[in-house]
Amino acid sequence: MNKDVKLEIPFLGELVKRIDELTLIIKELQKKNSLQQEWYSLQEACKLKGINCNSINNSVGRKYQPKFGIPDTIMSGRKWYRTTIEKWLKLSGEEIEKLWKNR
């Protein structure tokens, strides 16, 4: 084999540069999508989930609230911690129904 022959991939440098750019974009999006506050009221949580707070702010709709309406703390009203809200935001209505039945 000839030692003078170098194997070059023409776009490797450009590819690495693009990967680095995408990594930065992903980190920025993760920062933007992460919850910034430590505590959330039901109104704030509903706004994040894109639902009308009035539709679940009663005894019938309580099962659709974070932790079935049981707050993590009470300070100036009922509040839920960031991780509780993050989990709740990922749940669909069907998943909440299953959890409600299996509690």
Q: By residue range, what is the domain housing residue 51?
A: 39-101
Q: Is residue 74 in some structural domain?
A: yes
- In terms of Cβ atoms closer than 10 Å to its own Cβ (0-12, 13-18, 19+), residue 44 is middle
Q: Is residue 67 in some structural domain?
A: yes
Q: What is the pLDDT of residues 48-100, one digit of tens each?
A: 999 999 989 888 889 999 999 999 999 999 999 999 999 999 999 999 999 99
How many domains does the chain contain in total? 1
Q: Is residue 57 in some structural domain?
A: yes
Model pTM? Answer: 0.66
Q: Is residue 6 in some structural domain?
A: no
Q: Is residue 85 in some structural domain?
A: yes
Between CA 58 and CA 63 the distance in angstroms is 9
Structure tokens at 19: 């990967």
Q: What is the pLDDT of residues 18-53, one digit of tens each?
A: 888 988 888 777 666 678 899 999 999 999 999 999
Between CA 31 and CA 36 the distance in angstroms is 9
Q: Is residue 19 in some structural domain?
A: no
Structure tokens at 45: 């949580």
First to last CA, the chain: 69
